[in-house]
A and B are shown apart, each in its own frame.
Chain A
Amino acid sequence: MPDFLLPRHLLKSGRSATHSVAVQNDETSLTFADFARDTARWQQTFATLAGQRISLYDEDAYQLACMLFGAWHAGKTPCLPADNLPATRAALRDIVDAFADELSPGATPAGAPSFSELCDNTARLVLFTSGSTGTPQAIDKKLGQLGEEVATLARQWEAVLQGDPVVVLGTVSHQHIYGLLFRVLWPLSAGRPFERLRSTFPETLLHRLRDTPAILVSSPAHLKRLPDTLDWASASTQIAAVFSSGGPLDKEALQRCKSLLGQAPHELYGSTETGGIATRCRQHDDEAPWQVLPGLELRVEGEQLSLRSPHLPDAHWHTTADRIRLEESGFVLLGRNDRIVKLEEKRISLDAIESALMACGAFSAVKAVVLPGAREVIGIAALPTPQGWSELARWGRREFAARHLEALKSSIIAEGLPRHWRYGARFPADAQGKVTVARLLAWFDPRRPVWHQASRSTTEAQIIIDVDAALPDFAGHFPGAPLLPGVTQLDWAIRLGRELFDLPEHFIGVDNLKFQSIISPDSQVTLSFTHDTDRHTLTFAYTSGTLQHASGRLCFGAVPC
């Protein structure tokens, strides 16, 4: 078979025409001869193009492989976008000359196709990642770098796999470096057939594992959601190795993987920019530190990690945005020092979310935060403009958020779309006047009532509060006859008063406190404030129409009483 279809470092010896390259379920496998033919067809198509850069996106890993090598053999530079969103395509139009999915492969060549040898330095691939500025950043890889990565993987794991015939199954996309290396390039090099489509549902995966011994290329998002209601026992004996990358695998997911799949995964730490950096397998020790991959050197300044690696484009030291702590037998990852967060292994730029929302014109400031929980999601704390407040009142919270989500959908992937929205007059700041994430999280506390602003000046404000029956304040107050506790009304007046006005640091007392009529669950009340800036007092009143609920005067001072 053609010697130079794959570069020499990926294919060290010849391979027979009938060798299986890719499979899908139990259907007939595609052979090395099919791969050569389909690559030649794409090469033909791409060779006729005037431009240099071609965008490749395909759900089918086999098609992607044919396009990728077709582009290289046509002397072109393939670009792999991470997703196929309209905004991604629109942004790509400025940097690529063609989209493979707008073209078709050329005619089947007569006889076996022949290829010239690819050059490690001139053949390149462009991958994309979200940069700290929020716009996707193009990462240029030389074919030689990819070859080095595959060589590292082979050095690290071929011995573990012991050459057993296995199929490579995956739950992750090959449009990213991890999926591309583990699901396509390494299998091609090692002569292991890979499954064409990824198994996004655990049932699909289980079904495949029952048929065939396999390597599983997965990620924490999928491993932590393996349902224990399925019978993995017969499948687990079929798994030669599990790989996990894209983000940290928490202990619960690790236990799940061990108990259901019968082994701890080989975890990989790396990034699109740097390639693979380190690995660990927590089979016996849940705290096992990361081990640097063979051939790499690490350096730590402060906590910041720098590295020198054959996976990088040059031999210089490269500083990452990651923080680590060196230990005797490896290192521990501490986190990042920029505003990129990872949710379900997807890199999400908080800056990108914030700037897209600011562009909507309804807010004077926006903060995107990661809300902790079983599933981490994005929450938005926003300060609406007067126009924004009136739209919020007119459309309602759901519709208001839905319209803003619409504006985000073209540029932010689904995992990064905000799930919770909180609005206010000013961000909560600490004693130094700094708006910290910890302070912002208080806005997502279920005890903070939902409200919108009707009017506000330096001395007066009027807000409308939704007294939701689900507020924790109603619990036990009182069984069968729920009413909003007076202490909650006082707490809201102080809390919301602080948010609306500049007040001295300490609350020192309340005068003229009156509770005239009860506030029932699922009602709406108006809270009015008058601020006396000389006396540092804040007069408040809860009303519904002409009905008075409660009123009083809050006093604040620079020193506690």
Chain B
Amino acid sequence: MQTLQLEIKQLLINALNLEDITPDEIDPQTPLFGEGLGLDSIDALELGLALQKRYGVSLSPDAAETRDHFSSIAKLAEFVSHARKI
């Protein structure tokens, strides 16, 4: 799971072109949006696209569920490990 977390952190940094941050500086529990990393709703869309491309995952039509998956790196890794097709 840690390898996957690291991979997703790198994907996040690349997909959103984040500056001056390395994967080990992102706490897997830190909220990605609002407080914490301070990402916005457009980042959520971009990140969703990157995850679909990399892992072939599909997101749930239930927005609340998706928001929960996207709440932290740890949650994302958990979701990807179950839903990945690639």
A residues sitting closer than 8 Å to B (CB atoms) are 197, 199-204, 206-208, 221-222, 225, 227, 229-230, 344, 373, 375, 377, 396-398, 401, 405, 409, 413-415, 417, 419-421
Besides A375-B17, A398-B25, 13 other A-B contacts (C-beta < 8 A): A204-B63, A206-B61, A207-B61, A225-B42, A225-B46, A225-B49, A229-B53, A230-B58, A344-B42, A373-B17, A375-B46, A419-B17, A421-B20
Chain B residues within an 8 Å CB radius of A225: 42, 45-46, 49
Q: How far is the CB of B81 from chain A (nearest CB, A)?
A: 19
Q: Which residues of chain B (25-68) have a CB below 8 Å from chain A?
A: 25, 34, 38-42, 44-46, 48-49, 52-53, 56, 58-63, 66
Interface centre among B25, B49, B53 (most CB of A within 10 A): B49
Chain B residue nearest in CB terms to A197: B63
B residues sitting closer than 8 Å to A (CB atoms) are 17-21, 25, 34, 38-42, 44-46, 48-49, 52-53, 56, 58-63, 66
Chain A residue nearest in CB terms to B45: A225
Decide: A409 and B42 in contact? CB cutoff 8 A. no
Question: A182 vs B76: C-alpha distance in the bound complex, in angstroms?
Answer: 35
User: A414 touches which one: B39, B60, B61 (CB < 8 A)?
Assistant: B39
Q: How far is the CB of A524 from chain B (nearest CB, A)?
A: 15
Q: How far is the CB of A421 from chain B (nearest CB, A)?
A: 7
Chain B residues within an 8 Å CB radius of A197: 63
User: A200 touches which one: B20, B52, B62, B63 (CB < 8 A)?
Assistant: B63
Question: A414 vs B25: C-alpha distance in the bound complex, in angstroms?
Answer: 21
Question: A207 vs B62: C-alpha distance in the bound complex, in angstroms?
Answer: 9
Given A414-B38, A417-B38, also A397-B20 (CB < 8 A): yes
Decide: A201 and B42 in contact? CB cutoff 8 A. no
Q: What are 16 A-B contacts with C-beta separation under 8 Å?
A: A201-B66, A206-B61, A208-B61, A222-B45, A225-B42, A225-B49, A229-B52, A396-B20, A398-B25, A401-B19, A414-B38, A414-B41, A415-B40, A417-B40, A421-B19, A421-B20
Chain A residues within an 8 Å CB radius of B53: 229
Decide: A227 and B48 in contact? CB cutoff 8 A. yes
Q: How far is the CB of A450 from chain B (nearest CB, A)?
A: 9
Question: A377 vs B66: C-alpha distance in the bound complex, in angstroms?
Answer: 25
Chain A residues within an 8 Å CB radius of B59: 201, 203
Q: How far is the CB of A363 from chain B (nearest CB, A)?
A: 17
Chain A residue nearest in CB terms to B40: A414
Q: How far is the CB of A522 from chain B (nearest CB, A)?
A: 12
User: B61 touches which one: A204, A222, A413, A415 (CB < 8 A)?
Assistant: A204
Question: A77 vs B72: C-alpha distance in the bound complex, in angstroms?
Answer: 41
Question: A434 vs B54: C-alpha distance in the bound complex, in angstroms?
Answer: 45
Chain A residues within an 8 Å CB radius of B20: 396-398, 401, 421
Question: A190 vs B19: C-alpha distance in the bound complex, in angstroms?
Answer: 48
Question: A229 vs B42: C-alpha distance in the bound complex, in angstroms?
Answer: 18
Question: A225 vs B45: C-alpha distance in the bound complex, in angstroms?
Answer: 7
Chain A residue nearest in CB terms to B52: A229
Question: A397 vs B48: C-alpha distance in the bound complex, in angstroms?
Answer: 28
Q: How far is the CB of B33 from chain A (nearest CB, A)?
A: 8
Decide: B42 and A415 in contact? CB cutoff 8 A. yes
Interface centre among B18, B38, B42, B62 (most CB of A within 10 A): B42
Chain A residues within an 8 Å CB radius of B18: 419
Question: A85 vs B86: C-alpha distance in the bound complex, in angstroms?
Answer: 39
Given A398-B21, A419-B17, also A203-B38 (CB < 8 A): no
Nearest first, the 7 closest Cβ-Cβ pairs linking A and B are: A207-B61, A414-B40, A398-B20, A225-B45, A203-B59, A397-B20, A204-B63
Question: A199 vs B61: C-alpha distance in the bound complex, in angstroms?
Answer: 9
Chain B residues within an 8 Å CB radius of A202: 45, 48
Q: How far is the CB of A378 from chain B (nearest CB, A)?
A: 12
Chain A residues within an 8 Å CB radius of B41: 200, 414
Question: A206 vs B52: C-alpha distance in the bound complex, in angstroms?
Answer: 16
Chain B residue nearest in CB terms to A416: B40
Chain A residue nearest in CB terms to B60: A203
Decide: A201 and B58 in contact? CB cutoff 8 A. no
Decide: A201 and B48 in contact? CB cutoff 8 A. yes
Chain B residues within an 8 Å CB radius of A396: 20
Chain A residues within an 8 Å CB radius of B56: 229
Q: How far is the CB of A418 from chain B (nearest CB, A)?
A: 9
Decide: B19 and A201 in contact? CB cutoff 8 A. no
